[in-house]
Structure 1
Amino acid sequence: MPSTTGQLYQQIGRAGRKGDPAHAVLFFNKPDWCTDGPMKDLFKADCLRQKLLHQLGQEGQENQDRCCSVHSDDDSCIFTQVTEGPERNTKRRKPRLKRRQDTNNEEELKSQLYRLRDQWYELRPELVFIGPCGIMSDDTLNRIAKDCHSIHTCEDLKLVKGITNMSINNLETIIATIDRLIPEQNTKKNRRPVLRDVTNLNQ
């Protein structure tokens, strides 16, 4: 809700610059329920149009078919949040970053990736004059093995330089190979033991 009548003129004026009938939507929250100041005469169940014209010195204007009263039905309002009781300051928690276990299987992963590339190459006879690098280059395989701890999804894999025009099935196969050799680290916290009341125990 604008805090001054001047701001209110500006907001409503923007809605009808072309002279056509228009609506001005004013969003407000709890602090905007003004009981004093320049807004107290406007925040009423009276016709807002007549109030504004009175402020501008234009009296005697005919009423429109629909009154632009600020006291509208609830059905015409937009509610973005309805809360009861004290408002809580809730901060959005940052998503916990996934981590993989240190299994020292990076070299084995690299070997498995080379085998997969050879298998996929055999299914692509059109690459016979290009070689297995037509599927993935050696640099790409080495980069996947090196960055495997930060690769968790197919979207992460697509960020690796050299992964182009690869089918989703092949991407999922690579992710499954990484998961098998270097699984995700269990980030669940162990539950704390329940504290017992030891004040009444027999000595």
Structure 2
Amino acid sequence: MTRIGVFALQGDVREHLQALGELGVEAFGVRRPAELERCDGLVIPGGESTTMGKLARIFDLLEPLRMRVKGGMPVFGTCAGMIMLADRVVDGTIDQETIGGLDMTVRRNAFGRQVDSFETRLSVTGLDQRVPAVFIRAPWVEEVGPGVEVLARVDADPAYGDAAGRIVAVRQGRLMAMSFHPEIGQDTWAHRLFVDLVEETLPAASDRRPN
């Protein structure tokens, strides 16, 4: 069975575990390097990116995460998880640490405060229908490198103000990130995309390492 962990030191862990479980994968929380080693893929949820970085450092998880990303493990970051996967952060704290791996610059809390949260629908590359997206103190992507595929943008509508046309979902190789919270609600479209990405990278069942 495909094994997907959810970074569980801080953030919206339960909702991601539920969505992954509904898709028939083995989903579990990751707090220690030994748990990370079991992962075929990893979700980094929304939460508070600076706290995530500090806790990952305290629990000796930050460097193992960086090594697994460099080694090609598929990772899906949402909201704060997007920041954690970014190579460059604007408006971060002085001591902000990220895992990195995605050649992009993100702006932390770009969509404003909690009271500025909103829900919309987006067109996503590869999907036939527009999908729901909930933004809560979300980042947006300021720029991407040449190897990064833009999957979604906020509609270029003046009603969205400075957010109009902003990049909010990307993929680079085995890394995927979204500004919003796809775990909110009943639609598992984003998790299905990630499970497909993970399963594309798995060796044949006879070659997989034992549990």
How would you bin the TM-score normalised by the shorter chain?
Answer: under 0.3
Greater strand percent: which structure?
2
TM-score (ref. length: structure 1): 0.22
Q: Which has the larger radius of gyration?
A: 1
Greater helix percent: which structure?
1
TM-score (ref. length: structure 2): 0.21
